[in-house]
Amino acid sequence: MKLFKHAIALFAAILLLPSCGGDVDSTRLASDSRASEKIAQALYDSAVAAEKAGKLGRATKIYEKIVLRHPLCPAAAESAYRWGKLLENDDEPLEAFEAYDAILAKYPASPHYAEAMERQEIIATQAAEGQIDDSLIGFKIPITLKKSAEMLAKVRRNAPRAISAEKAQYTIGRIYQSRGKQTSHVVLAISAFRELTRDFPDSKYAPDAQYQIGEILLTQSRKGNQDSANLDRAKRAFEDVLIRYPTSKQAKMAKAQIAKLASGNIQRSFDIAEFYRKKGQISSALVYYRDTVTRSNSGPLRASAQAWINKLSTP
């Protein structure tokens, strides 16, 4: 029992002792930080000197070293900017894009923030339009759709409330729509356009994004067997343009597409009727001839359908 009491007293005494570990660690961290700042500043001064002397390759490497090894030092933000500018001037836009991304992600107080945002958007757009090539073992190769989309997504994330975000999201949809060759690209294009109309419903890009959804679905239906599901979805997409953006130029285009779809549906009803008639399935043929007459206006198609109704209905 006495041993237990002594243990409690000893524990209490330890708790009452001043804690020095935290102060020591803080002092050491502060010292390390000051040392790192001095190193970074010395490197920055040498990079500026190299740049003035025309040794741009050396300057670029030093600026990169500062950003990667001393990201929290005061010299890092300016180094990131100079790094990006030198890379861009040296025709290395993809690497410059990443340097500007460092400014946007880590140094929002930088006086070059707005310029970095603008340059990053320009580079991402050029990449999406095929104006910039990637490199592999010294060879120039086209930038992949995935990489272009990732660059544009970064532009959006770095400035979610700017017009550049709306444009970037719209461009993601367009590149998958125009350059995509896989089924997954169709899905990604529609998804990108839907994300735009959801997140930026008042954007100047939104009416066309909604219209392009209908165009994509219409194109897919034509590639198959006039898939009625895709046709119905396309019609709904065009109808959404009329409802959400009635005064846009895309509304007129959507209205014309809806009229074509209606006309196409009538033609399909007549074609199905003809198919059943030639197969001798008269009752089924009559169903589709009557559907053609009901849904069509006066004209050769309606007249032909009515004529077959009269003929096939005669005992």
Residue that terminates a domain, selected from 151, 167, 200: 200
Q: Do residues 128 and 135 make contact, with C-beta atoms less than 8 angstroms apart?
A: no
105 and 160, same domain (yes or no): no
Other CB atoms within 10 Å distance of the CB of residue 129 = 12
Query: Which residue type does 228 have?
Result: S
CA distances from 240 to 226, 245, 300 (A): 21, 8, 32
Which DSSP state fits 18?
P
106 and 146, same domain (yes or no): no
Q: Do residues 119 and 125 make contact, with C-beta atoms less than 8 angstroms apart?
A: no
Asked if residue 232 is part of any domain, the answer here is no
What CATH number does the domain containing 45 carry? 1.25.40.10
107 and 137, same domain (yes or no): no
pLDDT tens by residue, the chain, 315 residues: 444 444 444 444 434 434 334 454 555 555 567 888 999 999 999 999 999 999 999 999 999 999 999 999 999 999 999 999 999 999 999 999 999 999 999 999 999 999 999 999 999 999 999 898 887 656 678 889 999 999 999 999 998 989 999 999 999 999 999 988 888 999 999 999 999 999 999 999 999 999 999 999 988 877 754 456 778 899 999 999 999 999 999 999 999 999 888 777 778 778 888 888 998 999 988 888 888 888 778 888 889 989 999 988 876
Q: Do residues 266 and 300 make contact, with C-beta atoms less than 8 angstroms apart?
A: no
Asked if residue 98 is part of any domain, the answer here is yes
Residue that terminates a domain, selected from 173, 200, 227: 200
Could you tell me the maximum CA-CA distance found in the chain, to the nearest angstrom?
A: 118
Determine the 3-state secondary structure of 35 from DSSP: helix
Give the domain extent around 49. Answer: 40-111
Q: Do residues 77 and 111 make contact, with C-beta atoms less than 8 angstroms apart?
A: no
Asked if residue 137 is part of any domain, the answer here is yes
Q: Do residues 213 and 194 make contact, with C-beta atoms less than 8 angstroms apart?
A: yes
Per the listing, tokens 């209905």 go with 313
Asked if residue 292 is part of any domain, the answer here is no
pTM, full prediction: 0.73
The 3-class SS string of 47-80 reads: HHHHHHCCCHHHHHHHHHHHHHHCCCCHHHHHHH
